[in-house]
Chain A
Amino acid sequence: MKRVYVNEKWCLGCHLCEYNCAFANSGLTDMVEALKDKKIYPKIHVEGNDKINYAVSCRHCEDPMCIKSCIAGAISKKDGVVTIDKNKCVGCLTCVLVCPYGCVTPSESGVADKCELCTNNGQTEPACVKGCPNRAIVFEER
């Protein structure tokens, strides 16, 4: 299946992916309205040090710890995409406790949130990929 991959050599560490992610998931059409003066809750995070940068988002693992650990049975795989049923999630954050990549975060409402490859927000391709100025983030089959 197609996943988001990052070429760390090309990542500038500009954090644009975080803003594009937050905007794509805001449900709003105006970027300023969606982001200006607001705490954002992106599902991709730029990490790194003075030598290397890279963006981290859900790996959609083959055998995900989050699915096995969710106390509400709220996380499942749908067509390869690890998906959180936010209606079932109670915000215990056991998924945050077990994700080995640090890719699950609490959302503004307190329930768990993570990258679902923009399959749940009306985008045609992941917003982080589309907006990456250096094409360091790609969406492809590997």
Chain B
Amino acid sequence: MNKYVIIGNGVAACGCVEGIRSYDKEGSITIISEENHPVYSRPLISYYLEDKTDLKRMLYRDEDFYEKNKCKVYYNKKAVKVDKEEKSVTLDDSTIIYYDKLCVAAGSRPFVPPFKGLETVKNKFSFMKLDDALEIEKVLSKKARVLIVGAGLIGLKCAEGIYDKVRHITICDLAPRLLSSILDEESEAIVRKTLIDKDIDLMLGDTAESFDTNKAFMKSGKTVEFDILVLAVGVRANTELLSEEGIACGRGIVVNDRQETSVKGIFAAGDCTEYMDISSNQQKVMAILPNAYMQGKCAGSNMVGIDCAFDDAFPMNSMGIFGTHMMTAGCYCREEDGGEVYIEKSDDKLKKLFMKDGYLKGFILVNDIKKAGIYTSMIRNQVPLDTVDFNLVKTNPELIAFGVDYVKEKMTASV
């Protein structure tokens, strides 16, 4: 009987359990969970503060998930060492757990730069875990002024989540744009207007350098007073358990399309990994939930010995912020790098499709998201553009653009 051990209890771990149990109903599964919660959806913590979900509904799986899948979960325990020779994991209470196959799905953690005076700030928070949201919830008040450092996905979703429960929000970021990792200038302008219309103060190209109790001293020389500080500067992959064992790690644990690390029998999945982005042909950390699940499931199958590949990954995001909805995917090849860009634009809508070498490589859609999945599938399946009616699909993504035979295949048989 195989002994499977999973470090982490998030979505990648859940995928891993489901991957294992698709093929092996008997092997033992042990999960090491640093958090004291069953698997829940982390991106939902902003919706929790916004009262759009609650602790029960934000669970990613039914409450009997572990029981049904015969998993033993160590809650509130941290894995402190992996021994690849002994094939064991040591926990912070010195418990040693032996494995035949290990999956590291240890996620990521907030990166907090060493700000001077940060220790003098009382109400300071990160915004990644459910416990962060529960802590922030305690101090929210209609009197509170909030400073959010970081205008990425985490910072903006936090702003939306707490908006109706605080007096005022300021967001600063060293980057000159909001969501600089997924939006370009034109798309950002639409999102920026949405936030400005909500009277959120934006300080872009500027960031806090030091703090004193309830004051932030900015790089620009300005001072921002706040009651609540949210630090959403960035995240770092949790690689240490494996890097300390000499297992290959870059910014994330290096995995191949079987989710194998550089050591046989040790797999990794989710936000702690770096893996191949087929749209840019680069190995990178793509910390997004759908990929985490698919990586986990792929790892689980391979841990059982059933060959499975997750070889069509790329970054993608769907995100609404105060009613502005954006979807982005793949890589944005610039014209100077041999790319081609198709643009449709109006005041509050934008569609940009990025092509290169005869393939769709990426897109940015703002408030024009209808059938976006057809574009996504063109990136995923690397559909040669000369085989589709691109003039049709760029304005109106419909299946007929792929030809009558494709329509027949998909509409008249099970897929």
Binds A, one of B78-86, B126-134, B313-321, B341-349: B313-321
- Which residues 1-56 of B have a CB within 8 angstroms of A? 15, 41, 43-44, 47, 52-53
Contacts of B370 in A (CB 8 A): 102, 105
B289 part of interface (Cβ distance < 8 Å): yes
Closest B residue to A3 by CB, please name it.
B414
A72 adjacent to B374 (CB under 8 Å): no
Binds A, one of B96-104, B209-217, B398-406: B398-406
B373 adjacent to A98 (CB under 8 Å): yes
Contacts of B196 in A (CB 8 A): none
A90 part of interface (Cβ distance < 8 Å): yes
B293 adjacent to A102 (CB under 8 Å): no
Contacts of A60 in B (CB 8 A): 414
Binds A, one of B58-66, B143-151, B166-174, B252-260: B58-66
Contacts of B294 in A (CB 8 A): 68
A54 part of interface (Cβ distance < 8 Å): yes
Contacts of B319 in A (CB 8 A): 92
A99 adjacent to B297 (CB under 8 Å): no
- Which residues 50-83 of A have a CB within 8 angstroms of B? 52, 54, 56, 59-62, 65, 68-69, 71-73
A47 part of interface (Cβ distance < 8 Å): yes
B373 adjacent to A100 (CB under 8 Å): yes
A100 adjacent to B376 (CB under 8 Å): yes
Known: A8-B407, A87-B57. A97 touches B318 (CB 8 A): yes
B297 adjacent to A101 (CB under 8 Å): no
Bound-complex Cα distance A88 to B369 (A) = 21
B399 adjacent to A8 (CB under 8 Å): no
- Other-chain contact of B404, A52, A65, A88, A101 (Cβ < 8 Å): A52
Known: A47-B398, A93-B369, A96-B318. A71 touches B290 (CB 8 A): yes
Bound-complex Cα distance A72 to B392 (A) = 33
A88 adjacent to B53 (CB under 8 Å): yes
A72 adjacent to B411 (CB under 8 Å): no
Closest A residue to B296 by CB, please name it.
A68
- Other-chain contact of A92, B61, B318, B380 (Cβ < 8 Å): B318
> Which residue, of A65, A98, A142, has the highest number of chain B Cβ atoms within 10 A?
A98
Contacts of A124 in B (CB 8 A): none
A97 adjacent to B316 (CB under 8 Å): yes
Known: A71-B290, A93-B320. A6 touches B369 (CB 8 A): no
Known: A8-B411, A100-B376, A102-B374. A73 touches B320 (CB 8 A): no
B229 part of interface (Cβ distance < 8 Å): no
Known: A88-B57, A91-B320. A56 touches B411 (CB 8 A): yes
- Other-chain contact of B410, A62, A87, A88, A101 (Cβ < 8 Å): A101
A102 adjacent to B371 (CB under 8 Å): yes
Bound-complex Cα distance A47 to B57 (A) = 36
A92 adjacent to B400 (CB under 8 Å): no
- Other-chain contact of A6, B60, B412, B414 (Cβ < 8 Å): B412
Contacts of B53 in A (CB 8 A): 72, 88, 90
Contacts of A96 in B (CB 8 A): 318, 327, 369, 371-373
Closest B residue to A93 by CB, please name it.
B318
B407 adjacent to A54 (CB under 8 Å): yes
Contacts of B15 in A (CB 8 A): 68
- Other-chain contact of A102, B60, B317, B399, B414 (Cβ < 8 Å): B399
Known: A59-B410, A142-B413. A72 touches B41 (CB 8 A): yes
A93 adjacent to B327 (CB under 8 Å): yes
B43 adjacent to A92 (CB under 8 Å): yes
Task: Tell me the minimal C-beta distance from B179 to chain A in angstroms.
Answer: 15
Bound-complex Cα distance A56 to B372 (A) = 15
Closest B residue to A61 by CB, please name it.
B415
- Other-chain contact of B325, A49, A93, A105 (Cβ < 8 Å): A93
A98 adjacent to B399 (CB under 8 Å): no
B369 adjacent to A72 (CB under 8 Å): no
A-B contact pairs, 19 of them (CB 8 A): A6-B412, A47-B398, A47-B399, A48-B398, A56-B399, A62-B415, A68-B290, A68-B297, A72-B41, A73-B61, A87-B57, A90-B44, A97-B316, A97-B376, A98-B377, A100-B376, A101-B399, A102-B373, A142-B414
Task: List 7 other contacts, CB 8 Å, given A69-B293, A102-B372.
Answer: A54-B399, A62-B415, A68-B15, A90-B47, A91-B320, A93-B369, A98-B290
Which residues of B come within 8 Å of A, CB atoms?
Answer: 15, 41, 43-44, 47, 52-53, 57-61, 289-290, 293-294, 297, 316-320, 325, 327, 329, 369-374, 376-377, 380-381, 392, 397-400, 404, 407-408, 410-415
Identify the 6 closest CB pairs spanning chains A and B, nearest first: A102-B371, A100-B377, A69-B290, A73-B60, A99-B373, A97-B318
